[in-house]
Structure 1
Amino acid sequence: MANSLKEKTSLAGAQPEVVIDPAREPIVVVDGLHIVYRVYGAGSKGSAASALMRIVKRQNRPQMKEVHAVKGVSFVAYRGDAIGVVGTNGSGKSTLLAAIAGLLPPARGGVYTDGQPSLLGVNAALMKDLTGSRNIILGCLAMGLTQEETKAKYDEIVKFADLKPGFIDYPMSTYSSGMGARLRFAIAAARTHDVMLIDEALATGDAKFKRRSKAKIDELRQDAGAVFLVAHNLDVIEETCNRVIWLDDGRMKMDGDPEEVLAAYTKATGK
């Protein structure tokens, strides 16, 4: 779980790698963050079936490989920021968001937040066997809304998700990926978040949905803390964010104005 900013400021003798602007209100501090995955079974020779048989027969132990996904990343996000995170596949974008959300423990360094981060991903878990309607209720209650607040938000969520007629009463297993993504975003955006982390949730929406999502993110920036957005669609990043972080092989490549960072990223990657 991410530590609080109060804990950060109380660390005796700490030598932070980041400098906080005293004129602004910090809401997330990422300080020399390293995230390391341990992958078991990596490097085994032969097929997956033969590797499994060796494990079952205890002929040898599965090999372990360390994957250094985030390497010494440091930055400060301030209240009101909408920060886009770009990078090629495997650059550490989703790992960074998961670490800010408190879902991955740092190997070194730390993440400090003022409030509770909420991670919204395209694969965010809703119950596929339940209807969209039931998932709205369960999702809102899981976010801490009362039954009365959930009832008050229900019609707004349904309208925002813009599902095909009647689909709100169908199981989510019948939804397309775009419909599921829209409903997840609509549920998550129904409450004010201290820090909202969006991982590719806008990638499957049409132009109309992206415009509504941008307006909702602008609203969240005004009413809450900060928004982080990972998306391969650079137009979405440029239109939505006031700042962009570029990750390359787990390291911070650039952090700054969207137009400048995206131009450099596009030139380097040809995307």
Structure 2
Amino acid sequence: MADTLTAPTETAPTTTPTERVPTVIVDDAHVTYTVQGAGGKPQGPPLARILNRRKARAATRKVHAVKGVSFVAYKGEAIGLIGTNGSGKSTLLKAIAGLLPTNKGHIYTQGQPSLLGVNAALMGDLTGERNVILGGLAMGMTREEIHARYQDIVDFSGINEKGDFISLPMRTYSSGMGARLRFAIAAAKSHEVLLIDEALATGDAKFRRRSQERINELRAEAGTVFLVSHSNGTIRETCDRAIWLEAGTILMDGPANEVVDAYEAHTNKK
């Protein structure tokens, strides 16, 4: 689980404008998780396939998703995580958020990171309005703060542009509508570390523009943003730094445009 960076007991020196303040330190992190039902496709005659299917469901396989990753993130940075499917991007975000433990190495964070993903859990049987309230409370906002920001959250999400969807159960929403509302709720509060997994890929150009503007505001408020996206254009537009992961290891870490250029050149060769 991610550890919290704690201040030293002695008086720390005053931070200068040029000093880089770390918010996340990943030190030789390894993350392994178990996959259930990893026995492969059943073979043979019908009865054998039934028996083999049961064995397959019971089988497990360990996946070493993150292998010795180390880096430091600083206040005010927007960092894009790129790489092919299965490269360890989402697993690394969950480890930084404290949702997955490290098997080796350590992850230290300033404050409690907030993970926002397309599959972030809101309650499908409740209306969008009730989910805004519950989501705000879960982030530590008071009811007064939620009430004051409620209309801004709805307007930011854009889900009411074609009807009164905020009063409908969330199970009636498209995946894009749900993702936009989740981002709008999360963006209503400042975060020391905000982790975003593909949420910006679900909106139209107007929503992506609003999202990028809000990310810039979070960075200006001395926050750090991590963004996982399969859209290289989004990484270029939103992030100033990028980390390229492949097979659980870092291949490149540097300015976003340079890393994306190298990644595109590599993938275009295949």
Alpha-carbon distance in structure 2 between the residues aligned to 1:207 and 1:69: 33
Report SS of the residue matched to 2:203. coil
Report SS of the residue matched to 2:132. helix
Matches within 5 A, 1:75-114: 75-114=71-110
How far off its partner does 1:162 sit? 0.6
Report SS of the residue matched to 1:202. helix
Q: Which of 200, 209, 212 is the equivalent residue of 1:211?
A: 209
How far off its partner does 1:38 sit? 2.1
Structure 1 moving runs of 4+ over 3 Å: 51-55, 61-64
Moved more, 78-87 or 162-171: 162-171
How far off its partner does 1:138 sit? 0.8
Q: State the partner residue of 1:260.
A: 258
Q: State the partner residue of 2:3.
A: 3
Alpha-carbon distance in structure 1 between the residues aligned to 2:130 and 2:216: 28
User: What are structure 2's unaligned runs of at least 5 residues?
Assistant: 10-17, 44-48
Deviation track 1:111-166 (CA, whole Å, cap 9, x = no partner) reads: 00111100000010001111111110111011111110010010100110011321
In 2 relative to 1, CA 268–53 (structure 1 residues): closer, same or farther, beyond 3 Å? closer
Report SS of the residue matched to 1:102. coil
Alpha-carbon distance in structure 1 between the residues aligned to 2:55 and 2:89: 35
Report SS of the residue matched to 1:24. coil
Q: State the partner residue of 1:131.
A: 127
Alpha-carbon distance in structure 2 between the residues aligned to 1:231 and 1:266: 14
How far off its partner does 1:50 sit? 2.7
How far off its partner does 1:252 sit? 0.2
In 2 relative to 1, CA 255–134 (structure 1 residues): closer, same or farther, beyond 3 Å? same
Q: State the partner residue of 1:197.
A: 195
* TM-score, normalised via structure 2 length: 0.88
Report SS of the residue matched to 2:25. strand
User: Residue type matched to 2:138 in 1?
Assistant: A
Alpha-carbon distance in structure 1 between the residues aligned to 2:263 and 2:243: 10
User: What are structure 1's unaligned runs of at least 5 residues?
Assistant: 11-21, 56-60
Q: State the partner residue of 1:27.
A: 23
How far off its partner does 1:184 sit? 0.5
Q: Which of 58, 63, 67 is the equivalent residue of 2:63?
A: 67
Alpha-carbon distance in structure 2 between the residues aligned to 1:136 and 1:98: 23
Report SS of the residue matched to 2:114. strand
Q: State the partner residue of 1:15.
A: none
How far off its partner does 1:89 sit? 0.3
How far off its partner does 1:53 sit? 4.3
| 1:43 corresponds to 2:39 | yes
How far off its partner does 1:261 sit? 0.4
- Aligned-residue Cα RMSD (Å) equals 2.1
Tell me, yes or no, if the aligned pair for 1:100 and 1:117 is still in contact at 8 Å.
yes
Alpha-carbon distance in structure 2 between the residues aligned to 1:72 and 1:206: 37
Q: State the partner residue of 2:46.
A: none
How far off its partner does 1:222 sit? 1.3
How far off its partner does 1:51 sit? 4.2
Alpha-carbon distance in structure 2 between the residues aligned to 1:176 and 1:63: 34
Sequence identity of aligned pairs in percent? 61
How far off its partner does 1:223 sit? 1.4
* TM-score, normalised via structure 1 length: 0.88
Report SS of the residue matched to 2:84. coil
Alpha-carbon distance in structure 1 between the residues aligned to 2:126 and 2:59: 40
Alpha-carbon distance in structure 2 between the residues aligned to 1:267 and 1:101: 31
How far off its partner does 1:52 sit? 5.8
| 1:118 corresponds to 2:114 | yes
In 2 relative to 1, CA 45–229 (structure 1 residues): closer, same or farther, beyond 3 Å? closer
How far off its partner does 1:45 sit? 6.4
Tell me, yes or no, if the aligned pair for 2:39 and 2:55 is still in contact at 8 Å.
no
Tell me, yes or no, if the aligned pair for 1:36 and 1:67 is still in contact at 8 Å.
yes
